């Protein structure tokens, strides 16, 4: 984890990736729209498949997902292969080291059927080459931000989100950490992830102008009381990227940041992660 939000290397251009296969062309595949609070492990459990299957088919390079994102869900564990002209069932089966009968049964293929252009589920198959990540468009002001690839943070791996002094610590009554600075500095992302909430106005339960970042694996960070928010829902951010300007909106008695760390919905002491 970098020591400074200004350290070089954060803003490298991402590369364009191949899109995931069209679920409508895959036998018995479903399309699932990600909801607030979803994680890949919960979705996988719901459909009785592995997380790796969802990631492979949807070309995800990390566990980070965002509300509104549509995922192709296979009926079984495996991969999807786009058959090309001249492909035979036996050759495809040999390539993926599975039985041709399993492919035929899963995809409801007739004997001697032309496979050209078909999207085939290969049950139990493994990717033939590394999966290139799907690039989700970000807002223009962060068009050069690197696609998020961090894993869920652990102790000692979060960046301190801003300058200032600690004015209120984590307790049973106060489930976060307050950092105050009268100069109202910029607040940075404590780790890479996807912005799942960006409230640029309103009371919002006392949080005022607020940003929530999903880091994958059920791990989120919340940043509250901004006077100005720089990001939007769906933006992918990297560790050290500016999220907003410290303020005093919502239930606040002075310019400060209220910072929360949540693991699977449970608020944790942020100091344990710096």
Q: Are 255 and 181 in contact (CB under 8 A)?
A: yes
**In this structure, is residue 29 part of a structural domain?**
yes
Q: How much is the pLDDT for 17?
A: 38
Q: How confident is the model at residue 117 (pLDDT cuts 50, 70, 90)?
A: confident
For range 110-126, the mean pLDDT: 87
- The distance of Cα 181 from the centroid of its chain, to the nearest Å, equals 31
pLDDT in tens, 169-185: 999 889 999 999 999 99
Domain assignment present for residue 130? The answer is no
CB 215 within 8 A of CB 152: yes
Residue 8 within any structural domain of the chain? no
> Do 36 and 160 sit in the same domain of this protein?
no
Structure tokens at 172: 């049973």
Q: What's the whole-number mean pLDDT along residues 83-95?
A: 86
Q: Of 24 and 180, which is predicted with more confidence?
A: 180
Q: Is residue 254 assigned to a domain?
A: yes
Examine the pLDDT at 138 and tell me if it is beyond 50.
Answer: no
Alpha carbons 64 and 266: distance in angstroms, whole number: 18
pLDDT (average), residues 73-100: 88
Q: Phi and psi dihedrals of 242, rounded to 5? A: -65, 130
* Residue 60 shares a structural domain with residue 106: yes
Check whether residue 80 and residue 148 sit in a common domain.
no
DSSP-based three-state secondary structure for 80: strand
Q: What is the domain range of residue 42?
A: 23-123
Which of 94, 123, 152 marks a domain boundary? 123
3-class secondary structure, 248: coil
If asked whether residues 53 and 80 sit together in one domain, one would say yes
Count CA atoms closer than 13 A to 113's CA, side-chain side: 15
- Has residue 144 got a pLDDT over 70? no
- Residue range 1-20, pLDDT digits in tens: 333 333 323 223 333 334 66
Higher pLDDT, residue 16 or 271 = 271
**Is residue 61 situated within a structural domain?**
yes
- Between 12-21, 62-71, 228-237, the lowest mean confidence (pLDDT) is in 12-21
Kindly give the residue spans of alpha helices, DSSP state H, lying in the chain.
40-47, 51-57, 89-96, 100-107
Does one domain contain both 154 and 94?
no
Question: In this predicted model, what pLDDT tens digit does every residue of 48-67 receive, in sequence order?
Answer: 888 888 988 888 877 788 88
> CATH no. for residue 189?
2.70.70.10
Q: Is residue 135 part of a domain?
A: no
264 with 182, same domain: the answer is yes
Q: Answer yes or no: is 52 within a domain.
A: yes
Mean of the pLDDT values across residues 113-139? Answer: 66
Q: Which residues are CB-neighbours of 172 under 8 A, at least 6 positions away?
A: none
The answer to whether residue 195 is domain-embedded is yes
Tell which of 93, 123, 153 closes a domain: 123
Assess whether pLDDT exceeds 60 at residue 100: yes
Mean pLDDT of 93-118: 88
- Give residues with Cβ within 8 angstroms of 90, minimum separation 6: 100
Total domains, the chain:
2
60 and 162, same domain (yes or no): no
Average the pLDDT over 241-259 and give the result: 94
Rounded distance between C-alpha atoms, residue 143 and residue 13, angstroms: 8
């Amino acid at each position: 984890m970098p020591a400074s939000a200004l350290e070089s290397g954060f803003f490298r251009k991402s590369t364009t990736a191949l899109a995931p296969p069209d679920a409508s062309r895959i036998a018995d595949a479903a399309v699932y729209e990600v909801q607030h609070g979803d994680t890949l492990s919960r979705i996988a459990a719901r459909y009785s498949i592995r997380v790796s299957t969802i990631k492979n088919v949807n070309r995800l390079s990390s566990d980070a997902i965002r509300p509104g994102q549509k995922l192709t869900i296979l009926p079984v564990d495996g991969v999807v292969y786009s058959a090309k002209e001249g492909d035979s069932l036996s050759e495809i089966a040999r390539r993926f080291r599975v039985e041709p009968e399993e492919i035929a049964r899963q995809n409801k293929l007739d004997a001697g059927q032309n496979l050209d252009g078909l999207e085939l589920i290969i049950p139990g198959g493994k990717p033939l080459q590394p999966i290139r990540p799907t690039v989700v468009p970000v807002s223009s002001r962060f068009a050069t931000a690197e696609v998020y690839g961090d894993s869920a943070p652990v102790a000692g791996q979060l960046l301190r989100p801003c300058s200032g002094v600690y004015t209120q610590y984590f307790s049973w009554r106060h489930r976060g950490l307050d950092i105050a600075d009268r100069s109202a500095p910029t607040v940075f992302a404590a780790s890479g992830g996807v912005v799942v909430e960006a409230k640029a106005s309103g009371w919002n339960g006392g949080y005022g102008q607020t940003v929530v970042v999903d880091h994958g694996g059920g791990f989120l960070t919340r940043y509250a009381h901004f006077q100005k928010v720089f990001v939007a829902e769906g933006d992918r951010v990297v560790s050290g990227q500016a999220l907003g300007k410290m303020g005093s909106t919502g239930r606040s008695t002075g310019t400060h940041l209220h910072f929360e760390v949540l693991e699977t919905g449970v608020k944790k002491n942020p100091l344990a992660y710096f």
